[in-house]
Chains A and B, each alone.
Chain A
Amino acid sequence: MKKMLAAATLALSVSTTGMAFAEPLKIGMITTLSGGGAGLGIDTRDGFMLAIKNAGNKDITVVTEDDAQKPELAVQIADKMIQSDKVDILTGIVWSNLLMAVAPSAVAQGKFYVSTNAAPAALAGANCNKLYFNAAYQNDNLHEAMGEYANKGYKKMFILAPNYPAGKDSLTGFKRYYKGQLAAEVYTQVGQTDYAAEIAQMRASGADGIFTFLPGGMGIAFMKQFAQSGVKIPVMGPGFSFSQDVLPAIGDAAVGAKASGQWAPDFDNAASKKFLADFQKEYNRLPSIYAVQAYDAAQLILSAASKASVKNADAFGAELKKADIQSPRGKFKFNTNQHPIQDIYLTEVVKQNGVITNKTVEKIFADHGDAYAKDCKI
């Protein structure tokens, strides 16, 4: 298989920030840069590198490799990064099944893992780890928010997700808060591109709402096919189903869909405005939530690195846990299981000046943690 090694030595801007620790720090980024999920990985990489570039710290290097959304490849890359590149921190994996293959063994070898997206339930509860941090959410969170939202006005929901760890977390999260009746609970294949059989079931189900968790190309295919089907049931989902990486390809078929997210481009705070302007200037497109999450992951690492040595795991971990950053999301802090406590909003897909994007509607949860933190003993 192809190997992509982009070792980026970043000395682009001259920073005057007083760094207490001018010690080299090496970050290994494993993410999906090819195949159907590449849009998510590229936003992850670009968001992360934006924060690194803004910091201008010459002592920090990032090694990036493509996992092609394959667990076995991700494991090989992680071994190589730990053994021969000697990285201190791993990050960047988008998909929960890949994360489960990499993160437990990385932390067992004494490396930090700071997740930019994937957050399987298995690593948030009893199996949490001092060295494992999640800068994004816990997998269930955005789905829980939609379950809570669906309680207002939806009596019978049709819920659908791909059959992999995050898909199961998704429907579990939705059901944890949703009190109404379920018309059906359907699991599809990961990477499936034709949803005719599922749409036919939706039509016949008598549901008054549809919840789908279909990130990347899966969501594009579903929404386009749904729009053509003549089924008139409202569709909602977590932010991933309608994030900025897929909206241009879905087109007008997405307009009006409700979703949940910890960030949208219209957030009215200084950090969000700066992030949005910097990202558009650097990459000439709108960022997705994956980019925000990765940007915050990099900010967290940078903030800890300026105060402690990564060689001293306890001190570095304690600094990470303080989450001393200005997140575009606004409020951000870590729970006891090192997953975020944050606000979650309802968003709506809108078309503004010809650009299809998300607009914030209302807050669904304030200071929302996750259901697994109580089982975590660290």
Chain B
Amino acid sequence: MTLALALEQLLNGLQLGVMLFLMAAGLTLIFGVMGLINLAHGSLYMVGAFACATVAAWTGSFWIGLIASLAAAAAAGAVVELAVIRRLYDRDHLDQVLATFALILMFSEGTRWLFGSFPLYLDIPPLLQGAVALPGGTEYPVYRLAIILAGAIVAFGLYLLISRTRLGMRIRAGESDREMIGALGVDIRTLYTVVFALGAALAGLAGAMVGALQSVQVGMGEPVLILAFVVIVIGGIGSIKGALLGALLVGVTDTMGRFLLPKILALFVAPAQAGMIGGAAASMLIYIVMAVILAVKPRGLFPAAHA
């Protein structure tokens, strides 16, 4: 194994982590502020990808598609919050899970009805095509670097939003004591809708960026959703900082596991067996990491302040 390969895999892990962060940030924000488990978050990711693919096909511009994905996912999030989610805040988590699971089915079948079952075409914009040379003599896709950069910008933006703005103050207040900020005259219903739409927009952005890299198809959000839940459980539910660290940890662990485990096993067994067993073990690795972290810190790495 060379240094160049290790560097490339580390970047791959970072990129996966950043993408998971965009999903997990919205999920953890919604849970932290409103106490809501939103399984339909993956559907908003899918909405973002489909909006981007459709608008990019119409206009020929990925960038307009990207803006459309933010708008469409935020709008879908706001509508869902007003129509369904609003009625779930006072219910227990089982009701929330059932209702948001129903939303997944509706989003999936609705999307299939509108766009059909065949994957859509969405390509990387010309500006970000190709690969650049990295120190160590390897090359790396420009687009993946751009995703890492975009994720870093979003993380910094969220930090500013939450620590420096009035909206952020209200979000933090909502996390610590929901009844109290309502009693102090803050329009809590609007705040909830805004937070939900913000989380949805982040998921939509992730969907659009990843859609250009993978395939834009019905059901694309669910595998990512599962990882995003792992991330927020590791990071501590309700904590943005925890989501960021959890996402990077899961991204790097998953990538390195897929890469290293078969290699390590190949020292002991035949290559075909090593590939098969290593591949299977790598897919369990992040769950093992989660179990270990929860055994040591039952509430995650950065538990949110409130109970």
Chain A interfacial positions (CB closer than 8 Å to B): 2, 33-36, 38-39, 41-42, 163, 168, 171, 182, 184-189, 191, 193-194, 196-198, 200-201, 203-204, 217, 220-221, 224-225, 228-231, 245-246, 248-251
Contact = CB atoms under 8 A, between A and B. Distances in A.
Contacts of A248: 118, 121
A194 B214 contact: yes
A39 B271 CA distance: 33
B165 interface: no
Interface string B254-287: 0100110010000000011001101110010000
B271 A182 contact: yes
Interface string B131-148: 100000011111110000
A250 B124 CA distance: 11
A220 B117 contact: no
A188 B121 CA distance: 23
Contact of B259 (A201, A221, A224, A246): A201
A163 B277 CA distance: 9
Nearest to B128: A228
A34 B112 contact: yes
A42 B218 CA distance: 14
Nearest to B53: A249
Contact of B16 (A182, A189, A194): A194
B141 A221 contact: no
B121 A251 contact: yes
19 contacts: A34-B112, A34-B218, A38-B112, A39-B117, A163-B279, A182-B271, A187-B279, A187-B280, A188-B258, A193-B215, A194-B213, A196-B255, A201-B5, A203-B139, A217-B215, A220-B214, A229-B141, A249-B118, A251-B123
A228 B141 contact: yes
A36 B8 contact: no
A67 to B, nearest CB: 14
B258 A197 contact: yes
A185 B141 contact: no
B168 interface: no
Interface of B: 1-2, 4-5, 8-9, 12, 15-16, 105, 108-109, 112, 117-121, 123-124, 129-131, 138-144, 210, 212-220, 223, 255, 258-259, 262, 271-272, 275-276, 278-280, 283
A251 B5 CA distance: 28
B255 A34 contact: no
Contacts of A221: 213-215
B72 to A, nearest CB: 20
Nearest to B15: A196
B279 A186 contact: yes
B218 A249 contact: no
Contact of B5 (A34, A204, A230): A204
A281 B253 CA distance: 50
Contacts of B276: 163, 168, 187
Given A204-B2, A228-B129, A249 B121 contact: yes
Contact of A228 (B120, B124, B218, B275): B124
B5 to A, nearest CB: 4
Contacts of B223: 191, 193
A230 B275 contact: no
B279 A189 contact: yes
Contacts of A189: 279, 283
A204 B280 CA distance: 22
B275 A185 contact: yes
Given A34-B117, A187-B262, A200-B8, 9 more contacts: A34-B108, A187-B276, A197-B258, A204-B1, A217-B217, A228-B130, A229-B141, A230-B141, A251-B123
Nearest to B19: A194
Contact of A249 (B105, B142, B213, B215): B215
A287 B275 CA distance: 34
Given A38-B112, A228-B143, A217 B117 contact: no
Most buried by B among A193, A201, A228: A228
Q: Which 5 A-B pairs have the closest CB atoms?
A: A230-B131, A220-B215, A196-B12, A38-B117, A230-B139
A171 B272 CA distance: 9
Contact of A245 (B5, B105, B118, B129): B118
B280 A203 contact: no
Nearest to A248: B121
A217 B214 contact: yes
A204 B12 CA distance: 15
Nearest to B9: A200
Contacts of A220: 119, 214-215, 217
Contacts of B138: 203-204
B8 to A, nearest CB: 4
Given A34-B112, A35-B219, A171-B272, A200 B259 contact: yes
Contact of B119 (A34, A163, A187, A246): A246
Contact of B214 (A33, A35, A193): A193
A171 B8 CA distance: 26
Contact of A229 (B139, B216, B259): B139
A35 B218 contact: yes
Given A39-B118, A228-B129, A246-B119, A2 B105 contact: yes
A250 to B, nearest CB: 8
A193 B117 contact: no
B220 A188 contact: no
A246 B117 CA distance: 11
A344 B119 CA distance: 27
Contacts of A186: 262, 275, 279
Contacts of B109: 2, 34
A223 to B, nearest CB: 10
A249 B216 CA distance: 8
Contacts of B8: 200, 203-204
Most buried by B among A2, A33, A184: A184
A186 B273 CA distance: 10
A250 B112 CA distance: 19
A228 B109 CA distance: 32
